[in-house]
Amino acid sequence: MTPAQSVWWRQAQSDFEIFERLRSQGAAECHLLHYLQMSTEKLSKAYLWRLGAAPPRTHVGFTRFLRALVDRRASEASRIAQILGFGRTVEFENWVQQVLPLAYEIQKLAPAEAGDGPNPEYPWPHLAPVMCPIDYKFPTWNYLMNTGRGRRLLQLLKIAVHNFDQLA
């Protein structure tokens, strides 16, 4: 692991820890999604630093991270799949393809990506706000909590955050 990866990983761990604490205390969806999105962004950047250059300075990267995990050499992909709880590489590859739309929705939660739409930080639309995050029921949160894919994505994130040094 490079020093840059370590720095980004530490912050991803901290953000995910806050997500878990808030979740255990029954915090509002907007706060949970805010920390979840930030954790996925930083975890992604930590991973993408493995190429030796800074990843793009954007809020998107979670889908790139998932794709990059799958695109490793066969022996590494198998090891990564096992670390993340998949018995076979092909199961992991298929699951990533199925969950990419949800990963994209998590990326879009960043205000810079949400445009004038729902985001967990700021009221919207910007020029004439009528909705605030605390009052909004986020479809992304519902999907994370009430589907097998969503729950497994959260489980995978927890494993990835805690075992990043094995993925890097």
Q: What is the pLDDT of residues 104-115, one digit of tens each?
A: 999 999 999 999
> How many domains is the chain built from?
1
Q: Provide the mean pLDDT of the chain.
A: 94
* Tens of pLDDT, residues 78-134: 999 999 999 999 999 999 999 999 999 999 999 999 999 999 999 999 999 999 999
Beta strands in 2-78 (DSSP E): none
pLDDT at residue 57 is higher than 80: no
Burial of 96 (0-12, 13-18, 19+ CB in 10 A): buried
In the predicted structure, residue 168 carries a pLDDT above the cut 90: no
pTM, rounded to two decimals: 0.93
Specify the CATH number for the domain of residue 91.
1.20.120
Q: What is the pLDDT of residue 54?
A: 81
Q: In which domain, by residue range, is 101 found?
A: 3-167
Decide if pLDDT at 75 tops 90: no
User: Is residue 56 pLDDT above 80, yes or no?
Assistant: no
Q: What is the C-alpha to C-alpha distance for residues 96 and 89, in angstroms, rounded to an integer? A: 11
Give me the pLDDT at residue 55, please: 79
| Cis-peptide into 125, omega within 30 deg | yes
